[in-house]
Chain A
Amino acid sequence: EPEVTQTPSHQVTQMGQEVILRCVPISNHLYFYWYRQILGQKVEFLVSFYNNEISEKSEIFDDQFSVERPDGSNFTLKIRSTKLEDSAMYFCASSPDTSQETQYFGPGTRLLVL
């Protein structure tokens, strides 16, 4: 069964450094998303992306964040200058164009900012 993959599984970085989290969505899906989950808290929406554009973003997704689909398979989340409070699990998700109700989540990248 096709699945969303994410790399790396864990990332440790120093405060102020840039990080890029990578995702490979399911191949025929057209809608892509990033979510984050701070330890012990709920899953929070960051951004949705369709047709090479951001469809919607939350108040968390400020100027420090950006997303990109650099080629036909990858979907990336960049954090320009990481802060301690960016430490969280980051989940990528994708959905097909005809069944937008269902999102398929990847296993996540655990980001630790020191």
Chain B
Amino acid sequence: SQKIEQNSEALNIQEGKTATLTCNYTNYSPAYLQWYRQDPGRGPVFLLLIRENEKEKRKERLKVTFDTTLKQSLFHITASQPADSATYLCADLGGYQKVTFGTGTKLQVIP
């Protein structure tokens, strides 16, 4: 079965720097790979989706890349701000909209 792995449990970076989060999948290439933000005690909030045939997707300060050879997606936040501090979840949207989430990476942006 598909496993979504986010190897970094936590990432601390200085305000203004670019945060890069990694997501690896173990089995088949997801048709859609999603990134969500989750704040403590709250539900995930959808950020970006990238399709299997797309290399890169951008939205404001966010960028997602998808490398099917490496079985990896990278999530970048440029010019990071303390308000970006949260847990970021990578997810595979499977059949019938079943979403398989990774364990998440907790990002802390230090002022």
List residues of chain A with CB under 8 Å of any chain B CB.
4, 31, 33, 35, 41-45, 48, 50, 55-56, 58, 89, 91, 93, 95, 100-108, 110
Q: List residues of chain A with CB within 8 A of the CB of B99.
A: 33, 35, 43, 45, 103
Residue of chain A at shortest CB distance from B103: A42
Give, as a whole number of angstroms, the nearest-CB distance from B4 to chain A: 9
A105 vs B47: C-alpha distance when bound (angstroms): 12
Residue of chain B at shortest CB distance from A57: B98
Give, as a whole number of angstroms, the nearest-CB distance from B27 to chain A: 16
Give, as a whole number of angstroms, the nearest-CB distance from A20 to chain B: 19
B89 in contact with A43 (CB, 8 Å) = yes
A105 in contact with B104 (CB, 8 Å) = no
Q: List residues of chain A with CB within 8 A of the CB of B104.
A: 42
List residues of chain B with CB under 8 Å of any chain A CB.
32, 34, 38, 41-46, 49, 89, 93, 95-104
Residue of chain B at shortest CB distance from A4: B43
Top 8 A-B residue pairs of the complex, sorted by shortest distance between their CB atoms: A105-B43, A56-B96, A55-B96, A43-B101, A42-B103, A91-B43, A101-B49, A42-B101
23 contacts between A and B (CB under 8 A): A31-B97, A42-B89, A42-B102, A42-B103, A43-B89, A43-B101, A45-B99, A45-B100, A45-B101, A50-B96, A55-B96, A56-B98, A58-B98, A91-B44, A93-B43, A100-B93, A101-B49, A103-B46, A104-B46, A105-B43, A105-B45, A105-B46, A108-B41
Give, as a whole number of angstroms, the nearest-CB distance from A8 to chain B: 14
Give, as a whole number of angstroms, the nearest-CB distance from A41 to chain B: 7
Residue of chain A at shortest CB distance from B4: A42
> Known: A33-B97, A56-B95, A106-B43. Is A41-B49 also a contact (CB below 8 A)?
no
Residue of chain B at shortest CB distance from A104: B46
A93 vs B44: C-alpha distance when bound (angstroms): 10
A93 vs B32: C-alpha distance when bound (angstroms): 18
Question: Max chain A CB contacts within 10 Å: which of B34, B97, B101, B103?
Answer: B97
A44 vs B104: C-alpha distance when bound (angstroms): 12
Residue of chain A at shortest CB distance from B34: A101
